[in-house]
Chains A and B, each alone.
Chain A
Amino acid sequence: MRHTLSVLLQNKPGVLSRVTGLFSGRGFNIESLSVAPTIEKEVSCLTLVTVGDEAIVEQITKQLHKLIDVIKVTDMSEHEYVERDMALIRVKAESSTRAEVLRTIDIFRGKVVDVCPKSYVIEVTGSASKVQAIIDILRPIGIQEIVRTGMVAMTRGQK
């Protein structure tokens, strides 16, 4: 099963390699990973998507906790949460397809962020499945390049 883990870390050199080294050394999967500073200067938040059964994810969580620089590990799957992935997609856009591309982007509430005679760069944000959906639809038109941020996630507020 897919799990999104949110890991708060001390913002120190080498911390990211402690986390990724743990995953490679113990044979755990990383599907996507993103890190950035939080509101606290000394703390970074790492969002990581991994795949494994309950026992493996429990072991991953415990091993992450064991790292001295890890402050907190939250398995988002145990909470109500929102998650977003952003993609930049360079798609072929010649006179015959330009309109179709624009219509598609519009449906997915994406934006054109760069225009060239033969291509657009579009920006689209959403759940992993939404981003995957637009990629699948644009593929026949001609995708030249894709860059994705990986998933970021946050628990929902209390009602």
Chain B
Amino acid sequence: MKITGAEAMMRCLKEQNVNCIFGFPGGAVIDIYDELLRHEDITHVLVRHEQAAVHAADAYARVNGDVGVALVTSGPGATNTVTGIASAYLDSIPLVVFTGQVPTGLIGNDAFQEVDIVGITRPCTKHNYLVKDVKDLVPTIREAFHIARTGRPGPVLIDLPKDVVSSKVKFPEMKPVKMRTYRPTYEPHPGQIEKACKAISKAKRPVLYVGGGVIASKSNVELTDLAHKLNIPVTMTLMGLGGFPGTDPLSMGMLGMHGTYFANMAVAECDMLIAVGSRFDDRVTGKLSDFAPRAKIIHIDIDPSSISKNVKVDIPIVADCKHALTAMNNWLENSGLDLAAQVAAHEPWINKIKEWKAKHPLGYVEETGIIKPQFVVQKLHELTHGDAIISTEVGQNQMWAAQFYHFNKPNNFLTSGGLGVMGYGLPAAIGAQMAAPDRTVIDVAGDGSIQMNIQELATAQQYHCPVKVAILNNNYLGMVRQWQELFYKRKYSATVLDVEPDFVKLAEAYGAVGLRATKPSEVEPVIKEALATDNTVIMDFVVNREEGVYPMVPAGKATTEMLLV
């Protein structure tokens, strides 16, 4: 029996275990939306802007541990997804984004709401497709999901002309996807594993430098095992937070531009840097020639192009982090290596790091009567017992959340790491809440970035997402203001937000709850009330206006040249 392309698409989504999609309708996808009504087992979340659909799908994918799905119409619907797609691409988040397209006969005619979205998204997707024949529809969707979730995950876009989804097709049988040109390497080369383990066992001052790859490959347990087995201190990138328990004594927190003093010092002094699923981003390395200058470098990554891209690596291991770490743990267990001696041998190094930590711990200066933004994040951590899902916007709010909420589990921290998208946090919180209805989800926001997707308060209301938004309100675009303060003679060009909405009233206008704290003593009651409220809540924390994020490595400087509190 033949069915429409739209119905085949729904059947195929279910076959791929999709039960929630984020989208916004339009002319080119009206047939798909008509079909969607007949499938109650797929929840559709109607966002208020297509960018938010992709961010929500991104967060949903992270929390759910599988591919996120967005559906939008052609033209502006498609172009509005580009920021979300680019963000997911840089953060290696598995997504399948369906965009409507004008009928095949009109493609190339500058038709109404026509845009070459396959051309536009070519550099920011892992792969993309234009389906021109309904017979190719299901195989393409299957291939797209396969590409999105395997190897180094990433977003895949499928452009669907209107006539393709309305024409009839026989639903093809499910077959394992086999691709001639795409076979990611999961298993590490045993020789490289041995070489790496031997080198590590000779190191006196090793450091594990962990990125989002550990979270993507779900290898936090294997990583923790390795760190404890050999007593190796661990530092994480922004995307790696939660890949190793933030409250573990071996955790040095985040490294890089706003990393801890002791993490940056440890990397500068280490003789062995073990990079696991991280990519030597410029915000991590600072001045490349001064990054880990004394270290032999081991790099585990499933993407060969990440290896030796920025920093020359001594022992490359192309593999899935979980497979590689398991192989290393096995080798270490079975090699006859005296593990207790290893642990003891690293004690002086651990003590050295403790000295650095005692000298410059992560902190801030308290001032009476003024709310410090870091204090708000600390209180959020305390009152949620470190167990909330935290999404962030981008800028100071993001860095304070990363520094002061010590993440113990993977995927509790949702942030636009690579692209740095202001406006990510609220839609991400909604996506996370849809994936985990029983969890506490908090968007740590700034007063600037929350306004980039504030319209999603309506989405949160419509789908009863009791997400909490904590606005660290300083009436500035704070991170740029901080740079202007430090490097542009305090000339605050376009960073002062003179006109702002009353966020409490704004929340109420959407049917949400608005709360405000202007004094430190009000912070705890406001958070407690928000957590006890079964509704979307905006908490407006009026914080110290010119607070800065420290430590800070000025752009292009060595990571040891930190500006401290």
CB atoms of A18 and B122 under 8 A apart? yes
Residue total for B at the interface (Cβ-Cβ under 8 A): 18
Contacts of B309 in A (CB 8 A): 59
What is the CA–CA distance of A59 and B305 in the complex, to the nearest angstrom? Answer: 6
Contact A69–B123 (Cβ < 8 Å): no
Q: How far, in Å, is A62 (CB) from chain B's closest CB?
A: 4
Contact partners of A71 in chain B: CB under 8 A: 180-181
Are A65 and B305 in touch, CB under 8 angstroms? yes
B 118-131 to A, binary, CB cutoff 8 A, 1 in contact else 0: 11001100110010
| Interchain CB contact under 8 A, B305 and A66 | yes
Verify if A10 is at the interface (C-beta below 8 Å from B). Answer: yes
How distant is the Cα of A65 from the Cα of B118 in the complex, in angstroms? 20
Q: Any chain A CB within 8 A of the CB of B308?
A: yes
- Give the residues from 50 to 93 in chain A that come closer than 8 angstroms, CB to CB, to chain B: 55, 58-59, 62-63, 65-66, 68-71
State the total of A-B contacts with C-beta under 8 angstroms: 37
Contact yes or no, A66 B308, CB < 8 A: no
Q: A10-B181, A71-B181 are in contact. Are A66 and B303 (CB under 8 A)?
A: yes
B303 contacts A17, CB within 8 Å? no
Is A14 an interface residue when CB atoms closer than 8 A count as contact? yes
Q: Is residue B304 within 8 Å, beta carbon to beta carbon, of the partner chain?
A: yes
CB distance from B135 to the nearest CB of A (A): 16
CB pair B126 A17 closer than 8 Å: no
Contact A68 B303 (CB under 8 A): no
**Bound Cα distance from A21 to B127, whole angstroms:** 13
Interchain CB contact (< 8 A) of B181 among A25, A55, A62, A69? A69
Within 8 A of B (CB), among A1-29: 10, 13-14, 17-18, 21-22, 25
B308's contact among A18, A55, A70, by CB below 8 Å, is which?
A55
**B308 and A21 form a contact (CB under 8 A):** no
What string of 1s and 0s marks CB contacts (under 8 Å) between B303-337 and chain A? 11100110010000000000000000000000000
B112, CB-defined interface residue at 8 Å: no
Residue pair B118, A14 in contact (C-beta under 8 Å): yes
B344 CB to closest chain A CB, in angstroms? 39
Beta-carbon contact of B305 and A25 below 8 Å: no
Per-residue A-contact encoding for B85-108, CB less than 8 Å = 1, 0 else: 000000000000000000000000
Please tell me which one of the listed residues B119, B147, B304 contacts residue A62 in the complex, with CB atoms under 8 A apart. Answer: B304
Complex contacts, A62 vs chain B, CB 8 Å: 304-305
With A59-B305, A59-B309 in contact, is A25–B147 under 8 Å at CB? no
Contact check, A68 vs B119: say whether CB atoms are below 8 A apart: no
Quick check: B305 and A63 within 8 Å, CB to CB? yes
A105 to B123, CA, bound (A): 45
A-B contact pairs, 9 of them (CB 8 A): A10-B180, A21-B122, A55-B308, A59-B305, A59-B309, A62-B305, A63-B305, A68-B179, A68-B181
Closest 9 CB pairs of A and B: A62-B305, A68-B127, A25-B123, A71-B181, A62-B304, A68-B182, A63-B305, A66-B305, A21-B122
